[in-house]
């Protein structure tokens, strides 16, 4: 399991850093990464129905088996060679706790403010910290498993509706 936390300035959720990384990994190492359930991370400007189904994460499958196949062509052996990528991304959907909501209302670039100024105010730092805690709490909601594989299965459930 590889966990990637993307805090880049990406107000339109173009996912440029993720896309660029996947492209380089495939070009340099020949290893494709796909997202079987899709990616349901949306920009703040999306319509309310879309925001209501937004997530702060996506689960990718790292296809190591395509460059290092198992000795047999057994699908289970092939799947066992593959890995998982848990991609975490800052997003704001309007359903966050009141202090995050208030900060977001006063700062329309949140949570994609420029990272040029690394000296965050106390309010700014606390809002990002709480957004991260809120996102991880949402990810763990209802999780009763005991292993990383269980967590990946829990996080990788497809959203109620596909990304437009």
pLDDT at 162: 35
Q: Which pLDDT value is given to residue 164?
A: 37
How many Å is the maximal CA-CA distance in the chain?
Answer: 58
* CA-only gyration radius of the chain, Å: 17
Predicted TM-score (pTM) of the model is 0.87
| 6-20 pLDDT tens trace | 989 999 999 999 999
**If you search the block for the tokens 């492209």, which residue do you land on?**
23
pLDDT for residue 29:
97
98 in helix, strand or coil? helix
Rounded CA gap, 85 and 8, in Å?
18
């Amino acid at each position: 399991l590889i966990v990637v936390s993307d805090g880049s300035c990406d107000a339109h959720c173009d996912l440029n850093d993720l896309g660029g990384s996947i492209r380089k990994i495939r070009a340099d190492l020949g290893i494709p990464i796909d997202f079987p359930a899709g990616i349901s991370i949306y920009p703040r400007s999306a319509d309310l129905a879309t925001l209501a189904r937004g997530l702060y994460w996506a689960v990718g499958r790292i296809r190591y088996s395509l460059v290092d196949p198992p000795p047999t062509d057994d699908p289970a052996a092939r799947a066992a060679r593959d890995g998982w990528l848990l991609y975490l991304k800052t997003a704001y959907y309007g359903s966050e706790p009141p202090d995050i909501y208030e900060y977001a209302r006063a700062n329309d670039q949140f949570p994609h403010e420029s990272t040029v100024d690394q000296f965050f105010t106390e309010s700014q730092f606390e809002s990002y910290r709480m957004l991260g805690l809120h996102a991880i709490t949402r990810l763990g909601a209802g999780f009763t498993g005991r292993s990383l594989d269980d967590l990946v299965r829990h996080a990788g459930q497809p959203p109620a509706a596909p990304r437009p």
